[in-house]
Structure 1
């Protein structure tokens, strides 16, 4: 089992064989994505089966139990989200899951990928993971019969405002919560609106601008280490990774090429 805390919630990735849980409850909302194997679930007197690709959702205080058959390989990821954190993330005062089981293999796979990013040692990957988890919380909540506020009426203003703020201080790395508070949106609706407008998350958009500005500074002759520090990369190796991904060659090779 691997566990991490990010953005006010806990993420967990587990690979086991024949694991079983006695009846218990949580103070948090619990969201599980079953990736391999079959889980037998007992929930407040009801029983059901969650196969691979299933998403399970439990409200705080609900009694749950179950697990996989003896010897059966089982892989799953799970989220533990305090009620206030989930409500604020989705722009709601309060909520309750009405449907504990949904078969959504694509969402389960995407959630597993986002959780793996949250568990990474790389800070930038952890930030991407938090964004991915937050967006998926909205999809999962809808699948659990939660009505979310509409985001179609979110205009260009909040996105443009955040773009201006990010561009003015690329050396900074504000948290998702700080970005959402700055433009007056929930984290989910900020990410959804930003992606609808730009095709990128706020951090992806900031990274492409960092690499673009890095290209200009390298062309002007600034050393790669100084460029990394000025633009808020964790270190020169991070600059190299993202610059190569964007432009197909590392900063040093780019500098030598433009100097002729």
Structure 2
């Protein structure tokens, strides 16, 4: 069972409460800052580096926007919550000198952190005043900054490589159909296997996987705005709604219709 929350009154926030019984996520990223809470069961988190981090009930994980990751249960039943917020909004809540919270993935194992973020999610789902939600977020982030995380996975960006691959990103984002790998490699001035390695180093994704992830991010935004499923699928170049449904579920672990409602 999965329950989503999003509202036009607080467009910078969305949330979910989920119960999963099997592995269901492929590596993906978000365009928002994510706060994950493990309610019960255990799971294994992996980032772009592939370094696995076991998570258990009561753990809190902060994932800045753009960080590729996957999180699936070891076995059996698990429950979790995920709050997502525009990263600029989160940045405005941070105290001076605490930017490490948006520069890398952090895992906290203090029960009070789990309690603070669980309360925030309860406020979100029960329609509390925006000011109260914002104050709760500010206090929870300040508490995170005062504590040493159990794990911190920092990301580095190769600016020269990013500049070299920018034309590839544009082609992947703008083409109506999947570009051929040979064409993308030619654009970057690389061999195709060199391009795959370079893309994975920079983003955590192979070229077409990066394109699919970007399409799902855009689809989520369109669905939050209330756009029809068929219109969203067509606008993003999916062959049909069935294809859109399969790709969306692989990234979000829920159908487009359930996410939109």
Bigger Rg, structure 1 or 2: 1
> Could you tell me the TM-score, scaled by structure 1's length?
0.48
- TM superposition score normalised by structure 2: 0.47
Higher-RCO chain (CA-CA 8 Å, sequence separation at least 6) = 2
